[in-house]
Amino acid sequence: MTIKEAIFKALKDLNKPVTSREILEYIEKNNLYKFGAKNPLGVISAELRKIRLKGDQRLGILGEGRTKLYFYKLGSEIPVPPKISSFKSFHERDLHILFSTYLRNVENIYAKTIFHEKSNKKDNTQKWLHPDMVGVSFTKFKTKTINEFLYAVKKDISLSLYSFELKKEINTDSQLKEAFFQAVSNSSWANYGYLVSFHINENLIDELSRLNQSFGIGFILLKSNPFESKILFRSEYKDIDLKTMDKLCSINADFKDFISKIERYIRAISKDREYEELAFEDFKKFCDKILKSDKEITEYCKSKGIPYEE
């Protein structure tokens, strides 16, 4: 068996996105290939590079730079009945106001769209760094004493930060893998990371459950009536990554302003109530708009060509 054949057998047997080191470990564990070189991982990396450059369609790749994950593409698709998609008439970003409406009213999360096209174009890994939307929820205590105490000890338990990756539809296993690991990469900075989709093939739910258990990214099924949206799998909590937040702030003004507005409001909580309310109103105006009535929702969906379920 050649090294190329061993790599594809490993990817096919593992049946999930894996690193080059995981490929090596599988090959060595199952004695698929004997490495004569002193650096087996280097051999794997070099062969993967060759396969990629030759355009072999069996090799699926997720991520950028050193964070690449590899998977076997052919045969991994879950068949979908042939039909004309009803989701081609609207843009993915048309869903943002529906999702923002859901977050604000149901989850008490204030959301903001991050326009990646506004970013500094020098960074070639932006596709896997930018979330589509970000969010924050505040735990506001009734007494000024506790709010001042939190500020004094610099605790971040008074808020939670969220990252969301939105898709119109997820129909196949490869679409799920790409979207899911994009959400993994884009949410590394936040307390909670979610993949959100307007439609998902029901045959993918078991795989989605496995990915959720393995990587902690949650999943939300968005509905045209946002109040009917559901969290199918909750995200696991993790500490914020300040280095990644710093990088996002340095390349994207939307994200930088989002963090700045939060910081101003948190500072205002420990000061006089009038300043606190002004800071919060300023923050709300900065966040994405929401739809305020059933009539607004139905009219919006019709104007954008979004299928609406009565």
Q: Which domains does the chain have, with CATH numbers?
A: 3-72 (1.10.10), 92-304 (no CATH)
Predicted confidence (pLDDT) at residue 271 exceeds the cutoff of 70:
no
Among 44-53, 68-77, 143-152, 265-274, which range has the highest average pLDDT?
44-53
Q: Are 106 and 227 in contact (CB under 8 A)?
A: yes
Instruction: Return the higher-pLDDT residue of 212 and 124.
Output: 212
pLDDT of residue 64: 53
pLDDT digits (tens, 9 = 90+) for 207-230: 999 999 999 999 999 999 999 999
- pLDDT tens digits, 70-79: 888 765 444 4
Average pLDDT over residues 62-68: 61
CA atoms within 13 A on the CB side of 31: 0
Q: Note the pLDDT tens digit of each residue in 134-180.
A: 999 987 666 767 766 665 655 544 789 999 999 999 999 989 999 99
Structural contact between residues 179 and 195, judged by C-beta atoms closer than 8 angstroms: yes
pTM, to two decimals = 0.70
Instruction: Give the pLDDT band (50/70/90) at residue 84.
Output: very low
Rounded to an integer, what distance in angstroms lies between the CA atom of residue 301 and that of residue 53?
Answer: 43
Q: CA–CA separation, 217 vs 228, rounded Å?
A: 21
Percent of the chain surpassing pLDDT 70: 83
| Pairwise pLDDT comparison (220 vs 119), residue with the higher score | 220
**pLDDT in the model for residue 128:** 66
Contact assessment for residue 198 and residue 171, using Cβ atoms and an 8 Å cutoff: no
**Predicted local confidence at residue 63, as pLDDT:** 62
Distance, in Å, from the CA atom of 279 to the CA atom of 284, rounded to the nearest integer, reads 9
Please, what is the average pLDDT of the chain? 85
> Rounded mean pLDDT of 9-30?
89
Closest CA to 72 of 87, 57, 50: 57
Mean per-residue pLDDT for 98-115? 96
Q: Alpha helix (H) ranges present in the chain?
A: 3-14, 20-29, 40-53, 96-102, 144-153, 173-186, 205-215, 242-251, 253-269, 273-286, 294-304
